[in-house]
Structure 1
Amino acid sequence: MDSPANRHVSSVRLFRIREFLVSRLWFVPILCVLGGVALSFGTIAVDRLFGGSAVPRVLSGDPDAALAILTTVAASMVTLTGFVLTVTMVVVQLAMGQFSPRVLRTILRDRPSQFAIGVFVATFAHAMLVMREVKSPSGGDDGYVPGLAIIVAFVLILVSIMVLVSYVNHIGQSLRVASIIQSVGDETRELLDELFPEEPDEVEAPAGSPEDAPDRVVPSPKSGVVFRVDAEELVRYARDADVVLVLVPHIGDFVPEGAPLFDVHGEAADLDETALIRAVALGQERTMHQDLAFGFRMLVDVAQRSLSSAMGDPTTAIQAIDRLHDCLRQLATRPFPSGFHTDEQGRVRLVVPTLSWDGYVNLALDEIRHYGEGAVQVTRRLKAMLDDLILIAPADRRPPLERQLRLVEAMSERGFDDREDMDAAIEPDPQGVGSTR
């Protein structure tokens, strides 16, 4: 019978495999190639079953015409595949240079690009396999043409043309600043709704939370960024060993090899450290699985880079601030998870550190304030955002917003010499410059 640790190993491996596959550009194309090969074998088998008469020769053409068509199809699909890969790399370079290297992950997971490559290579595979079935006439033999396979190749050509047109339109839309910011913003909002439900099961920290020095420390066996924690498994391990586990790093933190990963409170003689370590996924970079702050970080990076002296594009920063405003507005009125996880008896078994409301506010605004000094659009947009958040936030969440408002006002005074410019810079405007009459 499998132990819980063994079952968890399978769960973690499945998660890692899934994450590895969906974040790779080649996964969907390989599936499409396999589909093209299967389609080729299937149509060839049907043609053999009917002796090549499944489709009239008038539709499929003679052997020479069929070979010429299939050769042209195979060559053109290689060209189209190279075109799509080239355009994708251009988009990657553009995104890294103008927005943020952190948004690269979103682009590589773009399904339309993967599907376009997949359709082209699947058509290529089908054409190559069908070519070997075509037999040229010799002597009194009229030759052999797998008619159904040829017709399927025609259909794949038409599909490829439609996919190419759709892909060009998709790339044109994806290159817009608004599309990239919207993609990051939508993913952040989805994770926010998942991690911060309006009516969570648990909000307050339960009684009995650990406060003393740990009885044991579990070090990290390797370095990496914490991007996923299996809380349910960790609660079971802690319950079985009758201990309380405290995750030391936040989700999204980098953990050096040998640094504390867990603090253990209680007698830990029966605790399996290997199982604990396997319940925490470490990777090369942060992801959006459980790390809402990473979504904020990407939006802040876009705003920060657009405000740099090299870019000088405050309007793009305003679009990123719009998304940050939306996320903060949702967080302002929602209860925050305590980070305490209990077993069936209500006893605390796991503590996962979480970012506070103050932390999200500072993350969203501090760097933008610094880089936006002297940019009238930024100060006016930040003023409008903070006025709105202060209006709807509960009293206990207003202090960090009021602090940011004071800093924005001080920033406008430092950034402009003329009093009228100062007053104009602090006028709230949802568009930065444009809404206020």
Structure 2
Amino acid sequence: PEYAHEFPLSSRLIGQFENPHLLLLAGLFHDIAKGRGGDHSLLGQRDALRFCHQHGITPDDTALIVWLVRHHLLMSATAQKQDLSDQDVIAAFAANIPDERHLTALYLLTVADVRGTSPKVWNAWKGKLLEDLYQATRHYLAHGRIADQIGARQREAAAMLSLYAIQPESYRAFWEQLDDDYFNQHEAQEIAWHTRVLALPRCGGAPSPVGAASAAKPFASKPAPTDMPEMRQIDAGKAVIKTRLSRIGEGLQVLIFRPDQPYLFARICNFFARLNYNIMEAKVHTTQLGYALDSFLVMDANHDKTAYRDVMNYIEYALAEYIGNAETIPEPAFGRQSRQLKHFPIAPEVDIRLDEKGHCILSLIAGDRPGLLARIAYLLTRHQVTIRSAKINTLGARAEDTFWLTCKELPDSEAILSLRNALLCQLK
């Protein structure tokens, strides 16, 4: 109960879970075989099975404990390294889950495992990823199909906008500029926020930022309510930058909307590296009119109680100035290497593969240091590769990052090999 404020879902689930001592046994054995050589999940599974037989644990309970030890890394790896907006990812994960009881047990064990490793490893963003995967898989197990994500999110976002007396006529044209990937990647509350910032007319019926940019017909057939906050218009080449406190309770969400340009993602990454902020998640989208609509979740790298509200205005102003600079971006520099990495270097690993849909996925492991993400983004842009989205996972001094890429040449094996070698050289 004392942790209910920090883990509301976990607290509710553990209170309803029958025989919670089974989770304690799974937790005891899940890492017991580390250091023996080989897959510690398989070795630990054998130890758990032997223990259960020796102590007369029922076959059903034994099966649950052994299954948890065998698959205790599955949920964390899926949540942090795969695209949860991809319905096939949810279906593939659910194929490994026998029933909802196993899913709940795995979720509870995963939260305890990640949170118990170190306070620096756990953060609210990882908690949100695990909860999203749990809820999506629970729906799949209950209904035998994936939820209609796009329709559901549009309806939920529209309901949120209606609370501000914003009618669908005000933003329908804006939504028509966005493809399915946008609605799959963003939650309803993010869509509603973006819409309020970008698609609404100014007081007095002036055109909206998006409308001014596209020279299209006004988005609203009705004048905006008189109490609607005035929206900024987009001048040619100027960026709209908006920040807000993250809804997960930690960090900032940053929205960037401007005409797309080369090295834009690298510039943004370099800005936050200089600010000593970690980018936890990046969602990159380009509208049909050629505008970049990018959103980031950023957190202070110092892991202290940052007063994010105090830096919001500065980030909006300074980032707009930084990415508005027309000069060619210099190659970002690495920051100082930590003492831990100097004595215990991490050999970089790069994996580039195509999924079943032909999408290119880049996974890399390297020693974390300031400027790492900016250098990766710079190199990818130089190879004419576009980042669709990214998940950034930092485990102490170890960075495990995943990128979803778009490039016409990448399906070619020689292009993949060339990019992989360039990344390895960059990360050494």
For the aligned pair, the TM-score class normalised by the smaller chain equals under 0.3
- Higher strand residue share: 2
Which one has the largest radius of gyration? 1
Q: Which has the higher contact order (CA 8 A, sep 6+)?
A: 1
- Higher helix residue share: 1
